[in-house]
Every structure is written in structure tokens, then in C-alpha cells.
Amino acid sequence: MCSICGLVDFNKPIENRCEKVQKMNSVLKHRGIDDNGIFKFKNGVLAHNRLSIMDIKKGKQPMKAYKNGYCYTIVYNGEIYNCEELKKELESEEIEFKTTCDTEVVLYSYMVFGEKCVEKLNGIFAFAIFDEQKEKVFLARDRFGIKPFFFAFDDSVFAFASEIKALLSLSGIKPIIDKKGLWQLLFLSPITLEGQTVFKNIFEIKPGYCGSFSKKGLSLYKYFSLKPEKLDVTKDEAAKEVKRLLLDTVKRQIKSDVPLCTFLSGGLDSSALSALVAREYVAQGKVLSTYSFEYEGNKKNFKKSLFQPQGDDEYAVYLADYLKTDHTVLTASSEIVAKYLENATKFRDFPGQADIDSSLLYFCEQVKKEHSVAISGECSDEIFGGYPWFYRKEMLNSEFFPFVHKPFARANLFDKKIVMANEGYEYLSKIYKRDLDEVECLPDDSEQDITARKASHLSIKYFMTNLLERKDRMSMASSLEVRVPFADHRLAQFVYNVPWKIKFEGEVEKALLRNAVKEYLPEKILWRKKSPYPKTHNPKYEKIVTKMLEKRLKNDSRIAEILDFCVYKSLKQKENITWFGQLMAKPQLLAWLIQLDVFLSEYDCIIE
């Protein structure tokens, strides 16, 4: 993986911009520690940091190629999994390759197929290509937003980067948070509205979008979305096709010129992928390395809930032994999880999921010591319908996003005159209802299928994007590339149209996936109840973050300026509260307040 950034202005020559772009690039150095490069042309500057995964010696960027006397230059962050097929097709067009790197495949795909090239790519990507002939920069982001792509305007200059912090390094782009940004922070974060950020006038290219920047300005359009189609299949036929697609995507995604491992929690999703990868490794005469994550004191303090009915530790070790992998259990103490809260905020560029982020940041740092690529089980729940709101109708039919259990839990902690919480709730509620109304269904869809389509739409558009963002920032902070096979668009498109009665057969979550991988997993794992990414249950953690927060509130804290201390005091006295997703409870809310204070202070945010 890598980072990209650049400044472009087709209305006038770029002068003295190299230094600014070099500064942007240095801010993103953590995403690619192996190499860096810069390319300057009349109207712009492009820059790149490289994490070498394929063709380590020849894949340097920015990469240039020529056609009919014109130069084409790419900066690219991603991994393309259908390179072999594309190379054959391009070679039939008389293209001669100089590397085995997928960057070159993407560049030539654009040169031969034009903007339609994105429809041919199977993978994760964010890239920009300077097209000298057409005097434009072509921009593209992968179908589910696995790789980031942010942009802003500094007067007439178009600025883009892999992370927001690079844009904020420019003096003309300010860290302004208006009411809409504040509402996203207090009601939705770690989720943001599609195409937006919490900062005024800083945007993202939406997942599944591409377009160009030229003298005419910026023009973006959608090239991919899940389409409802009639699909007449039996449960066995559906399971067979899911198995075929999973086997294919795993084979594609384990190709690497550097050491690769899998994250193995012992849950269905990571276990299925680890089993499939281990199977391929055995065929190649290799032993797969796997990692599971634990927290100090969890065995003693774990408390089951609707969202987390079981701990992971025994299941991960059991399956690792079953698969005969080289397994490592990484354990984080409460002190470490708390210590990493600040850096997790900075790497994510806003307050995310508290210790859910900070622990992953720490774990990825440890994994990177031995491996540069990891396979992870994200996206299965969104694709196969693993969340309660897929089948608990009352959750989907609420007035607000179903993964936000208590919308006012954070907003009510702050000065009502500043936050205007009721107005924010109404604004976001309208967006939620509009999203539901926009879901396209087929005339003969059952009521269950309609509910499932709506749940899929919401989960993929918001919840999955958040999880992918978290995984990207926390892993790339250590230059660790994480691949997510369940996000293969072919698999998602197929499963989207499988009738809900097959996906939820016998009222079992992700029954379709379980049937598809049943020959690869032992019964103990195959039929295990869903369990999410683990969190700390140690009461010691809550005491640590409470002390940290109190200290900040007494020392020129930014949130102290807007906090309602009476409401905050009542929060401290509450036994517990689950306010977001499956894991965010009272300790996470206290930790999130620390992250918010770090964010407002370190980014010198201006609240309008």
C-alpha cells in the first residue's frame, strides 16, 4: 500500500508548489516507508510514498508511460487482484510491460480503455492519472471505499491526498467544523456522511466514483452500485457459488512478494478466510501465520451481551491448532490501550472508536514486525446480513440509523446553544429516511427481501465504510497492508440478490456463508454465534480513562469550553450504556471524550 497526494490548477501554471507537495507527502510517510517520489508538470505536482508489496525493485512511483507522443503519469494506492487477466488483454493491444507491478497495469488500462478502465479492475484502489493529451487528471476510488481519497480546493488549486492531515498542512485549507460537521461528530462518528468529512470544505471521493479535474473544474460520477436482480437459486446452488467466489478471491489476494498472515479471531468470518488461506499454503508447502488479539484481564472480567455473547480466546487457539498454523496471541494491557488513544485519533484524523481503534493500532504495530500483508474478515456481516438490524425490524424502522442506539448520548453532554442537538437530530434523521427511500427493490421482492436490501444498503454505505476506514488508518500507520476478501464486488453483487430466506435459513445469522464453508471448518467454529472485534472488559481500563479525562478537563481542555458538566457528572455515575454499534459502552464514551479533546486541540479546530 501507499499514499498519494497532489496539487493541480489548469487555469495557471503551478509555481513554487513542489515544496508544499513535498510537505504533504512527508505527512503521509507512515503509509509507505520504502520509497517516495514526486512528478512536476506545467499545471501540477503529484507525489507518492511507497510500501513495496509487488515487484519491489521496479514499481517506483510516480510512474510514467507514453502513447502517441503524450505522457501519462500515475500515483496509485492499492492492489489489483485480476492483473494476470488484464495483462493478457492489454498485451493483445500491443502493450509491452516493463514490470510485474499492478501500478503499470492500472496505468496502461487507462491509456487503452480510458475512464472505463475502473469497471475492469478487481481490487482496492485510489489513484490519480495526469493525462497530458486531454489536459486533465483522472481520479478513481474503489467500489467500497477500501482505500481513501480526500480532496479540497485552495482557491482554484485542486488538492488531494490519502489522508486529511496532508490537506490541512496547506495554509489555505482550514480545520473548520460547521454545524453539519459537529452533528456528524456528536451523533454519527465514527461514521461520516458519504462524500463528506467533519471539516467544512474537505470532501472525499465517494466509494464507487471516478471522474476528472480539468480546466472545466471537477466532475465525478458513479461507476458502481449493487443492483437488484432476480435470482432463482436453491440454498445449495447459492452456497456453491459463494464457495467458488471465495476460493477465487482468496487465491487472488494471497499473492505477495512479502510475508503474509491472517487475523484470526475464532469467529466465523476470520476462521473461514484463515481456513481457505491455510489450504492454499499447504498446497504450496508453506505454513500460514495467524494472529489473534486479546486483552489483559478479559478472561476474568468478560460479560456477555446481545452483541458479544462469547469471548474469542479459546476459539482462535483451537482453530489455529486445527489448521496447524503458526499462531501468535497478541495481548494488550489497559495501560497500552489507553496510551494509544491519542495516536489513534491523529492517524484517523478525528475521534473514532476509542479503544477499538487504539488497540488495533497497537496490534498492527506488533504484526508489522514480522509481516507486511494481512488478510482480515471485515465486510462479511454487511454482505451476508450478520447484524441484528437485518432481521430485527424494529431497529430498521426507527427514526434514526440502527447502529446508533442512543443518538443523544454524546450530543446531550454539550452546551445546547452550541450543539443545537434537536436540530442536528432532525437533519440526520431526514438523511436516514431519504437513504431508505432510495433503495431500489424488485416488484416481486418479499417483505423480508425488501428489509434485507435496505439493511444491506445502510450497512455497506455507512457501517462497512467506517470499519474499512478504521482498518486502513490503523494498519497503514505501521505500513501494514490489510486485505479484505469479503469485499470482492463479485461476491457482494451475488449475495445481495440471494433471497433472505436462504441467507437467514433457520433464523441463523449468515447461514449462507456457513453452508458455503462447512467443509473447511469444525462444527465448534462453523455454528458459533457471531462475535465482533474484541474489546477490553477490564474495569481497570475505565478507571484509567476516567483519570485521563479528568486531568485534561482541568488543564485548558477544549471540550471543557463546551461541556455541560452537570450532564457529564451524571454520566460518570451511570452503570453502563451502549450507544453505538456492538462495542461502544460507557468506558468507550469516556475514552471517546479524550479523543475528541485531542482532536479539537491538536488540529486547532475552529467550531463555527
Catalytically active residues, by annotation: 2
Q: What are phi and psi of 152, to 5 degrees?
A: -160, 170
Question: Quick one: angle between helices 313-323 and 268-283, nearest 10?
Answer: 20
State the Cα–Cα distance between residues 295 and 101, nearest whole angstrom: 39
Is residue 288 within 8 A of residue 261, CB to CB? The reply is yes
CA distances from 582 to 46, 60, 191 (A): 40, 41, 14
CA-wise closest residue to 186 among 459, 432, 406, 458: 406
For residue 8, give the H/E element and its range.
strand 2-8
State the Cα–Cα distance between residues 465 and 487, nearest whole angstrom: 11
* Residue 567 backbone zone (phi > 0: left; psi -120 to 50: alpha; other: beta): alpha
R_g (Cα) of the chain, nearest Å: 24
For residue 410, give the H/E element and its range.
helix 408-411
User: Cα 91 from chain centroid?
Assistant: 33
State the Cα–Cα distance between residues 367 and 374, nearest whole angstrom: 9
Is residue 178 within 8 A of residue 185, CB to CB? The reply is no
State the Cα–Cα distance between residues 76 and 128, nearest whole angstrom: 7
